[in-house]
Amino acid sequence: MNLLLKLEPSLSFKIWGGEKLKTIKNIETEKSLGETWEISTHPSGPSQLSVNKTNLSELVELSYLLKYIDTSDNLSVQVHPDDEYAHEHENEKGKTECWLILDAEPGSGIYMGFKPEVTRKEFKTALEAGLAMNNYLKFYEVSAGDFFVVPAGAVHAIGKGVTLVEVQQSSGVTYRVWDWGRVGDDGKPRELHINKAMDCLRFDQGFNRQLELSKKEGLFKDVGAQSLYNHPDFKAELINLGKGDKKEIRLAPKEGLTVLRGSIGLDGEIYKAFDSGIATSDGIVLAEAMEECSILLVKNRDS
């Protein structure tokens, strides 16, 4: 058995989804594909082994989840709970996540954090009055190579025209605060979770200022390895390689990787952009870059 097993994603169709992931993954469907859960053991969408279609969740349990997201419309303004709140109210883990931007249309961006001086009372009053809640959030125009940390408690929304890779705790808990006044496929407004969201949203200025300070830029420019984010449930690292570069990558059990751009030889197989795999044991794989490429490595909590 190879040290690295290639995976196939679980597909998540969304009203705001785009066309890019369908093209990349060669998926024929009329539905809008918003997310591909590339490395997942979450019951809502486990990924599968490419070789025999076995659900990854039958083999291991992961503390993290890696997915690609592509948007043709704005996501809802939302928040995720921390571990304590999620355990008490949802019998789930909390959800801290991080995003690495892969592509963005001109002017596209993300909403994250409250503008200075926005208070809980002001926000709740505006929400009840049906006002446009994006006016209370900071907006960041983005481009490929930008990186953001989105901790539990942070108000956020991915804007339209953005493609990114997300690493998160293995959790499916999202509380929608506001949904741009749109309706779902059934013609009715999508469910909101105002009370739980208000329990979790953090308005303190120090927290919201830190969201801005955590932003990184230009991460695809320099060849080499760099740490992106360390969380108790996962660690994310980026490796950029030039054409023809070779690098030995040490992997631990349950450590996942995905190729963000370019093509590369890994453990005797060719991995193209948006291909993902998971390590079955300790060992070293030789990465041989066929062109400029980037690999995202994610360590499990106990690896």
Find where tokens 């996962």 sit: 234
CA gap 236, 75 in Å, rounded: 24
209 is catalytic: no
> Cα dist. 298→52, 244, 279 in Å?
23, 24, 10
- Helix boundaries (H) for the chain: 20-25, 83-90, 120-128, 194-200, 205-213
Q: Which of helix, strand or coil describes residue 118?
A: coil
What contacts 187, CB < 8 A, 6 or more positions away?
none
CA gap 55, 50 in Å, rounded: 10
From the candidates 176, 190, 209, 261, which is the catalytic residue?
Answer: 176
Terminal Cα-to-Cα distance of the chain (whole angstroms): 20
Burial of 253: CB neighbours in 10 Å, binned 0-12, 13-18, 19+? middle
Catalytic residue set: 176
